[in-house]
Amino acid sequence: MNLALHDIVLTYPDGDRRLTALDRVSLEVGAGEFVAVVGPSGSGKSSLLAVAATLQTPDSGRVLIAGQDATAMDGRQRTALRRDRIGIVFQQSNLIASLTAVEQLQAVAHLRGGRPRAVAARAEELLASVGLTDGKQHRRPHQLSGGERQRVNIARALFAEPSVLLVDEPTSALDHERGEQIVSLLSGITREHGTATVMVTHDKAQLGAADRVLEMVDGRLAQPAAA
Ligand SMILES: Nc1ncnc2c1ncn2[C@@H]1O[C@H](COP(=O)(O)OP(=O)(O)OP(=O)(O)O)[C@@H](O)[C@H]1O
């Protein structure tokens, strides 16, 4: 199983009490599986992604990434696991304003110590695979549309060939048609790269592309009644 969350409890301080954001959540996502998570605002969707991304440590429960228990690791091991195994496309995963699309990917590769020429070729190849060709791969973020910037984010997240791809509201800044294109791109990537993909979305129109739709309500994860 590429991603396994077992019995996760996550609380936040809330005055002199604690607010339970995730209440015994379990989720398993296999290679090549595309799972969408919906649910009302404040229900715990972002918290779920943060725990799966190993950015937030749960109060209890286990997080397994490609079979490795992130909850049993120290901070350094967890950072390495995240870098090597997890692709993150969050709303706040901002592109660097001064870098072209290719350079955004090269910057990530640099952290991993890749050879420059091989890195540049792979960056162009990945950008082409998400539809950025014809010179667009050499443009800076402000010269790209919202959908194209989201494609750069996705290509960057794929650079490490992650086992797990976590995506937060990928279509919120896009019109319906561009949103649909991004979701179908994510669905294709999930199959081609064999990632376990979890996408949080508000957009019910995008759910058709998912293999499974789950609903978060008050920190609990369930099959939606209408599915
Ligand atoms: N850092 C924090 N400190 C305290 N409470 C928090 C913190 N982050 C989130 N919460 C609370 O935890 C609950 C779950 O929040 P979360 O952001 O996971 O929900 P969400 O479903 O992603 O919401 P939205 O759809 O509005 O983004 C909410 O009640 C929220 O107020």
Residue with tokens 């995240």: 82
Q: ipTM value of the model?
A: 0.95
Per-residue pLDDT of the chain (227 residues; tens, 9 = 90+): 999 999 999 999 999 999 999 999 999 999 999 999 999 999 999 999 999 999 999 999 999 999 999 999 999 999 999 999 999 998 776 899 999 999 999 998 877 777 878 889 999 999 999 999 999 999 999 999 988 999 999 999 999 899 999 999 988 878 888 888 889 999 999 999 999 999 999 888 889 999 999 999 999 998 775 54
Task: Reduce the DSSP state of residue 222 to 3 states and report it.
Answer: strand
Residue 177: its pLDDT value, please?
85
**Nearest CA owner, ligand 1 atom 31:** 42
**What is the sign, positive or negative, of the torsion defined by CA atoms of 160, 166, 82, 65?**
negative
At residue 145, what are phi and psi to the nearest 5 degrees? -75, 170
Structure token digits, residue 86? 């997890």
pTM score of the predicted model:
0.93
DSSP single-letter state for residue 96:
P
pLDDT of residue 225: 59
16 C-alpha to center of ligand 1: Å? 18
Q: Which atom of ligand 1 is nearest to the CA of 22?
A: 14
CATH of 3-222, one of 3.90.1170.50, 3.40.50.2300, 3.40.50.300, 3.40.50.150: 3.40.50.300
Ligand 1 center to 104 CA (angstroms): 29
Residue 173 Cα to ligand 1 middle (Å)? 20
Q: What is the pLDDT of residue 93?
A: 67
Chain centroid to Cα 226, Å, comes to 25
Burial string for 69-99 (b: 16+ CB within 10 Å, else e) reads ebbebeeeebeebbeebbbbbbeeeebeeee
pLDDT at position 226 is: 55
Q: How far apart are CA 120 and CA 93, in angstroms?
A: 21
Alpha carbon distance 160, 173 (integer Å): 26
How far does the centroid of ligand 1 lie from the alpha carbon of residue 46, in Å?
7
Other CB atoms within a 10 A radius of the CB of residue 176 amount to 11
The predicted pLDDT at position 94 comes to 82
